[in-house]
Amino acid sequence: MSLVTTVLAEAGHVELPMPTWAYGLIALVIFIALGAVLWTYRDVANRHQAKADAYAAAHGGAHGHGGH
């Protein structure tokens, strides 16, 4: 046995600061919040289509062509 496992074995039982289901709930809330942030950026490119078309026309690009 290594020194670390010996120390951990002698430390005994360690109580968690909250119930185990609470960790899952916290993770779920964080993922939902991150999903909401991601959702706010949906369809951003199409919100400014006139601006994108003007830029493409000024720089010789085709409409709807986003790649290089």
Q: In the 8-state DSSP scheme, what is residue 14?
A: -
Query: Is 46 within the bounds of a domain?
Result: yes
64 within some domain = yes
Residue 12 lies in a domain: no
Q: What is the pLDDT of residues 6-31, one digit of tens each?
A: 777 777 777 889 999 999 999 999 99
Buried/exposed 5-36: b ≥16 CB within 10 Å, e otherwise: eeeeeeeeeeeeeeeeeeeeeeeeeeeeeeee
Q: Within a domain: residue 1? A: no
pLDDT of residue 27: 98
The pLDDT of residue 32 is above 90: yes
The count of domains in the chain is: 1
The mean pLDDT of the chain is 82
Whole-model pTM: value is 0.52
pLDDT score of 63 more than 60: no
Q: How far is CA 26 from CA 10, 30, 35, 36, in A?
A: 31, 6, 14, 15
Residue 61's contacts (CB-CB under 8 Å, 6 or more residues apart) are 55
For 43, the domain range is: 17-68
